[in-house]
Structure formats: C-alpha cells, structure tokens
Amino acid sequence: MENSKETIKYITSLVLFGMNGILASQIKADSMIIVLVRTFLGSFILLIAFMIKNRKKQLRKTAEENKENRNKASKNRSDKIWLLLSGAGMGLGWLFLYDSFQMIGVGIATMTYYCGPAIVLLTAPIFLTEKINKNKIASFMIVVFGMVLMMIQTMDGKIAVRGIASGLIAAVCYAVMIILGRKNRKIEGVECALYQLLGAFGIVFLFICFKGWQVPVLERNGWISLLILGIVNTGFGCYLYFSAIPLLKIQTVTILGYLEPLSAVVMGMIFLGEHMTFIQLSGVVFVLAGAYLGERKKDIRADIPSSV
C-alpha cells in the first residue's frame, strides 16, 4: 500500500469527520455554541501541534536561516489573511450545517453540504479564472439530479424545507471557503488548517457577541460529546488530515476522500436509526459520483472535499 502509515492517518481523519454529525446529535445546545467550542478546542490543539513542529525546525536551523524564515513569514501575511477569511466561510458553513443536522438528520444534511464542490466547479470560471469544460458541467448536473432525488421524499414539511435550505447555504459557504482558500499560495499543512480554524472561531465568536448567549446546560453525555468533537474530531482529526495529504498521491486522496460522507450516512443509519428510501440512496450515489467526476483531475491544492 502506498505510504501505508499516511494512508491510515488519512482514513482515520475521514472517519472522525464522518462522526461529527453523530456527536453533534448528542449535544442539546445551539449550533453556535457547538461550533464555537469546536473551533476553539480544535484551534488550541492545532496551535500546540504547530508550535511543537515549528520548534523542532528551529532547533535544526542556523541563525541566518531563522532570519530568512522570518522574512518569508512576513511576506506570507496576505496568505494568512486569505486563510482567515476562508475559515470565516467555513465557520458560517458549520453553523448552517449543524442546524441542518438537527432538522433533517446527519445523512441527508451531509450529502446536501456535499454539493459544495459542485458549486465550486460552476463558479470557478468567475472567481478562480479556471476554465469549465463539458465534463465539469456534466458533473454539476449529476450532482443536481442527485439532490433532486434526495429532496423528493424529504421536503414534506416546514422543518424539512428549512433543513435542506440550511444544508444548501452551508454548501455555498463551503464554496466560499474553497475559493478564498485558493488565494493562499504558500502556507500548507497544519499551519493552513490552524489559520482557517482561527478564522472560523473568530466569525462565530462575533455572531455570539452580537446575539448574546448563555452557558448551555448539558448532561454528562453532552459535555463528553462536545469535548470529543472539539479535541479529537477537530483538533486531532485536522492534524491527521493535513499532515497526511502532502505525502499521498492525488488519486488516493480523492478516492478515499469519499469515505467521509459515506461513513456519515452509514453511521447515521446505525447509531441514530436514520432511514433512507431507495430513491434517496440513489440520490446519494449520484451526488458522490458527480463530485468525484468533477474533482478527480484537480490539483491537490484545490482542497479535497471535506466537511472537516
């Protein structure tokens, strides 16, 4: 197996991300509180990992190399700003995604959110100056058809309509995250994820300050799920994800990447008792197929689909 250690790290991160909705379903709190704690704890863990990694590099470098490294860091300021803005888009997307989890369930909400890559494909000629070909248009249409199939038997009430709408808004925020993240040219790996999580934490914190909030009253299971979501699934999961990707082939990253939404759907059925009809499951297949066809030839810095 190609770089088996990194492959295992990558698969582990995807399964952790797929569990996000399951953990969130155990937390009876406003989505803003969930995302705020998640981004704070995740940023804290990544900051520690980044400092340790950076410290090891510093010990191996001479004083002259350290000076050159500081100069490079100052030149990367614009990249950091783009990543923070990209993270803000991610944070907004998570707010709507977690609302969608609560209204229509983990499986359908995750697949709705997974329309994000298709939106990126469609808007790439405008915002990324990338050409769109017939294959990409076909990929987008396949995703749209899959969404229609999933929505046929889902939109049977106001809550379901709001849930689908929240999932689609989250998908648009996902596209914003990717587009702004592509403006970054030099920052990679754990450092990239750190700035994005800080941006997500910042925007959610501003929302909470504007809206006002209270410390949630959670049962023991709720607090445990919240801590696992922030520390393990976000902090540790992002560390595994972004440290493994640079060492894997793009084909491996792309194909295995679809374990995340699939695991979310399967775990929603197993642990939450969610059920999908044959038509809805067919929609899931079309969404995944369309996303895969659109992403398979893209560069690794295009950001492989992940709800993180």
pLDDT of residue 107: 84
Hey, is 294 helix, strand or coil? helix
How far is Cα 59 from Cα 65, in angstroms, rounded to an integer? Answer: 11
Which structure tokens are listed for 180?
């702004």
pLDDT of residue 183: 86
How long a stretch of residues is the chain? 308
How far is Cα 105 from Cα 88, in angstroms, rounded to an integer? Answer: 24
Which structure tokens are listed for 121?
């494909």
> Is position 303 within any domain?
no
Give the position of tokens 């998640």: 38
The boundaries of the domain holding residue 157 are 4-55+76-297
pLDDT of residue 134: 74
Give me the number of domains the chain comprises.
1
How far is Cα 94 from Cα 110, in angstroms, rounded to an integer? Answer: 11
How far is Cα 26 from Cα 34, in angstroms, rounded to an integer? Answer: 11
> Is position 71 within any domain?
no
> Is position 11 within any domain?
yes
Hey, is 299 helix, strand or coil? coil
> Is position 27 within any domain?
yes
> Is position 206 within any domain?
yes
pLDDT of residue 254: 67
pLDDT of residue 39: 94
Return the closest-CA partner of residue 179 out of 87, 306, 74: 87
Contact 132, 122 (CB under 8 A): yes
pLDDT of residue 119: 82
Tens of each residue's pLDDT in the chain, 308 residues: 456 888 899 899 989 999 999 999 999 888 889 999 999 999 999 999 888 887 776 666 655 555 555 555 555 788 999 999 999 999 999 999 999 998 888 888 888 887 887 787 778 777 767 676 777 778 778 877 887 787 765 555 566 788 889 999 999 998 898 888 888 888 888 888 899 999 999 999 998 988 877 777 888 899 999 999 999 999 999 889 888 887 777 667 767 777 888 888 888 888 888 887 788 788 888 877 877 776 655 544 444 455 56
> Is position 305 within any domain?
no
> Is position 306 within any domain?
no
> Is position 196 within any domain?
yes
